[in-house]
Amino acid sequence: MRALALAIPLALAALFAACKKPTPVPKQEPVQLPAVGEFLPPSLDVPDYVGAAACAECHRAIYDAWQRSPHGRSMAVASPDTVLAGFDGPPVTLADGSVSFSREGDGFFMDMASRGGHERRKVEVVLASGRQHQLYVVKGADGAMTLLPVVWGTKIKEWLPLSTYQAADLDPSSPKYWGAQDMTKGCTSCHLSQAYRHIGADGPRSAYVDLSVNCEACHGAGAEHVRRRRAGSTDEVYRNLATLGSVEESRVCGGCHGFQLKRYVFPPADDKLPQIFVMSLLSDSLRPDGTQHGTSYQYPAHALSAGFREKILRCKDCHAPHGLEARDKLGESAEGALSNKQCTDCHEDMVAPKQVATHTHHPGSVRCVDCHMSYSWVGDDDRKHQRTSDHSISIPHPEESLAFGTPNACTTCHTGKTAGWSVDALRKWKAKNALGVRDWVETIALARKKAPGAVSRLVKMLTDPGAVAYLKVSALDLLLIQPPDASLVETVASYATNPDPYLRASAIRVLDEYDPAGRSRWRALGLGDIHPYVRMETFSMIKDVQTLTPQAIDRQLADVLQYMSPPTDGVVHVLTVRHRRGELREALALVDLLQRITLPREREHLNLEEVRGRIVADLAKVDAAGQPPR
């Protein structure tokens, strides 16, 4: 496995010894484009993965616990044991038709009726463990998976329209037909393991190693480990994940429990752990306080927690890593009546009943998590019947609710009360820490609104040595939506050579807007970066495509083929760049590449034949004019 950059070469480290010094432009070497191999992306190294069953040979107890866990049940073949929905109830009426249900032996069926006709499909795969929902999937001959148009609410025992969660309808002629996507571009990148595109003699197909979140999703490729154990060797190739610190471990879990930017698949770094690049607080999928408004998952809030900042709280301190049961830092059960043990192992002063009553003002009626990890509805919409808990492990801040509309634990339980009522109660209790608005939350909220004073607050966040990297990335991203200010170039430029590639990429995006005179240098710095994430993000932001060099375009295509899963969208972008630059023969070659690596539905969605026709027509005009071919 090639190493990712954890340190920047000395040549880059010297770039900003003083900001006023000109930035050297990295030399762009010719790029050897990779051949499209059997697997995409090649960095996945699919033959190196052996699947969970191989692990059971030595780790049977762990394997059994994993099979019962939400990870082990994240996806499964449809069967009476895995399907939780009631397929014996009445039809469900949707806006554009209806869906009825039936069961034949061990098979489950949906009948869809719409103005486009009638269609009957057998459920082949179930998606999600069923803690809140379960979704149902059909597979095409090419392995593509598509969600069926209704979702089972496991808590409420009712069917819900798929359109409640994403654009979807019943008409086969619609571009939104059942959500119109191969799920390997979305859900399955985390709900199953090692999804990849297999390029065979009969064309491409979507494939995977395991139809669930397997051992290797966290531990990495296991072929060499298994080979050594079967040979009787005790030499270890795996890093012991139990010894990871809080920041390191969050990168393992955050790969799925944080909504990743695009679908990059980067190989592990020198420490054999993945790098992750999740949406920042610029995104409205997160509320200003870091809680989930959309399905952005737990990592952002965790990265904002005191436990993460002080490097004392790991995911496995609360969650058993294999069975995922609630547990405390000592590894003992913290389920049901024992749930407070997740907190009191560290907060020992909260064990005695009298102290608990004094602290909570709710004697015997609340748990720690009720106030410090309160639930909120995804999208602030209870019709979705999907709730998430606050992994920043914060105290309630009802004045933030008044100012910014964020949820708080008080009114989550006291549903008939207001945030103002909560503030009054906290004042009576003299709960000073829960009163007022946190500075960083206000900064994020004001910056999203482009309010006066937001820029100075973002700069303060960037120069605060105590601010976590995630907040600094968010500050950089939020500067992008403010009016450009040349006086900030020096502050932002200090992050353009930071050891963290996430910070480097965000800084270069800002500098591209804030420093037009130095734009070519910043772009060259990003396009020549040692980390593919920085290179790819820099390339994606450049709209004036005539300024790109042939080497930069070739490097982008090479990175897309190696690190995007699947690479379709990235190849389309490079094709668009080639076409706009008038490089018609190269563009036509990329159409041929897309024909080879895309699934039928993707080709139809991309209108590849129409694209080919336009390029051929443009090429004919060039040839007719006697211009030199490009």
Which residue did the predictor score with more confidence, 384 or 92? 92
Q: Which of 176-190, 285-299, 520-534 has the lowest mean pLDDT?
A: 176-190
Tokens of 170: 């019943």
Q: What is the pLDDT of residues 171-230, one digit of tens each?
A: 777 767 765 556 666 687 789 999 888 998 888 998 899 999 999 999 999 999 999 999
Q: How far is Cα 293 from Cα 445, in angstroms, rounded to an integer?
A: 14
Are residues 489 and 575 both part of a single domain?
A: yes
Judgement on whether residues 611 and 514 belong to the same structural domain of the protein: yes
Average pLDDT over residues 578-605: 92
> What is the DSSP secondary structure assignment for residue 46, as one 8-state letter?
G
Is residue 14 predicted with pLDDT exceeding 50? no
Domain boundary among 178, 203, 238: 238
Query: What is residue 262's predicted lDDT score, i.e. its pLDDT?
Result: 67
Res. 43 pLDDT band, cuts 50 70 90: confident
Handedness of CA 169, 171, 176, 179 (dihedral sign): positive
Q: How confident is the model at residue 17 (pLDDT cuts 50, 70, 90)?
A: very low
Q: For position 383, what pLDDT does the model report?
A: 86
pLDDT (average), residues 48-53: 95
What's the rounded mean pLDDT across residues 64-78?
A: 96
- Reply yes or no on whether the pLDDT at 598 is more than 80: yes
Task: Tell how far CA 563 is from the center of its chain.
Answer: 15
pLDDT, average across residues 244-254: 88
Q: Does residue 557 sit in the same domain as residue 569?
A: yes
Same structural domain, 488 and 578: yes
Q: Which of 239-243, 409-413, 609-613 has the highest mean pLDDT?
A: 609-613
Chain position carrying tokens 């004001």: 446
Q: Is the pLDDT of residue 10 over 70?
A: no
CB-CB contact of 564 with 262 (8 Å): yes
| CB neighbourhood size of 198 (10 A) | 16
Q: pLDDT value at position 18?
A: 34
The answer to whether the beta carbons of residues 345 and 368 sit under 8 Å apart is: no
Q: Distance (Å, rounded) from C-alpha 9 to C-alpha 494? A: 15
Confidence label for 272 from pLDDT (cuts 50, 70 and 90): low
Residues 594 and 554 in one domain: yes
The answer as to whether 252 is a domain residue is no
Does position 83 have pLDDT exceeding 90, yes or no? yes
Confidence label for 8 from pLDDT (cuts 50, 70 and 90): very low
Whether residue 56 is predicted with pLDDT greater than 80 in this model: the reply is: yes
- In tens, the pLDDT along 108-130 reads 999 999 887 888 999 999 999 99
Averaged over 63-92, what is the pLDDT? 95
More confident residue, 450 or 352: 450
Q: Quick check: is 391 in a domain? A: no
User: Domain check: are 139 and 221 in the same one?
Assistant: no
Please compute the mean of the pLDDT values over residues 163-170 and round it to a whole number.
Answer: 81
Task: Label residue 572 by pLDDT band (50, 70, 90).
Answer: very high
* Cis-peptide, bond into residue 629, ω within 30° of zero: no
pLDDT of residue 303: 92
- Report the b/e string of 284-304 with b at 16+ CB within 10 A: ebbbbbbbbbeebbbbbbbbb
Q: Looking at residue 322, what is its pLDDT?
A: 95
My answer on whether 68 and 144 are in the same domain is no
Cα(464)–Cα(546) distance, integer angstroms: 39
Do 554 and 578 belong together in one domain? yes
Instruction: Let me know whether 483 and 605 are in one domain.
Output: yes
C-beta atoms surrounding 25 within 10 Å: 13
In a domain, residue 576? The reply is yes
Range of the structural domain that residue 476 is part of = 10-23+472-624
User: Which of 138-152, 168-182, 517-531 has the least mean pLDDT?
Assistant: 168-182
Question: What CA–CA distance (Å, rounded) separates 481 from 503?
Answer: 17
For residue 245, name the pLDDT band (cuts at 50, 70, 90): confident
Residue of higher predicted confidence among 265 and 559: 559
pLDDT, mean of residues 599-616: 91
pLDDT at 400 over 50: yes
Domain limit, last residue, from 157, 176, 191: 191
Within a domain: residue 329?
no
Q: Which letter, b or e, does each residue of 564-579 get, where b requires 16 or more Cβ atoms within 10 Å of its Cβ?
A: bbbbbebbbbbbebbb
Convert 234-249 into a string of H (helix), E (strand) and C (coil).
CCCCCCCHHHCCHHHH
Same domain flag for 216 and 157: no
The answer to whether residues 67 and 132 belong to one domain is no
Tell me the average pLDDT of the chain. 88
Output 181 or 243, whichever has higher pLDDT. Answer: 243
Where is pLDDT greater, at 19 or 391? 391
- Report the pLDDT value the prediction gives residue 16, as an integer from 0 to 100: 35
Q: Is residue 466 part of a domain?
A: no
pLDDT of residue 268: 67
**pLDDT grade, residue 156 (50/70/90)?**
very high
Q: Is residue 257 included in any domain, yes or no?
A: no
Query: Are 221 and 89 part of one and the same domain?
Result: no
pLDDT band for position 37 (cuts 50, 70, 90): confident
3-state secondary structure of 440: helix
* pLDDT of 379 strictly over 90: no
- What percent of the chain has a predicted confidence (pLDDT) above 70? 92
Secondary structure in 3-state letters for 461-499? HHHCCCCCHHHHHHHHHHHCCCCCCHHHHHHHHCCCCCC
In the structure, what pLDDT confidence band is assigned to residue 329 with cuts at 50, 70 and 90? confident
Distances (CA, A) of 430 to 288, 417, 420, 422, 425: 25, 19, 15, 12, 9
Looking at per-residue confidence, does 478 or 627 come out higher? Answer: 478
State the average pLDDT over residues 420-436: 94
> Are 532 and 559 spatial neighbours (Cβ–Cβ below 8 Å)?
yes
Identify whether 108 is part of a domain.
Answer: yes
pLDDT greater at residue 353 or residue 281:
281
5: pLDDT strictly greater than 60 = no
Strand 75-77 to strand 39-40: parallel, antiparallel, or no bridges (unpaired)?
A: unpaired
Q: How far apart (Å, rounded) are the C-alpha atoms in residues 473 and 505? A: 9
Q: Would the pLDDT of 555 be above 90?
A: yes
Taking Cα atoms as reference points, which of 311, 307, 280 lies closest to residue 296? 280
Residue ending a domain, among 175, 191, 207, is 191
Query: What's the total number of domains in the chain?
Result: 3
Nearest C-alpha neighbor of 67 from the set 211, 190, 187, 175: 211
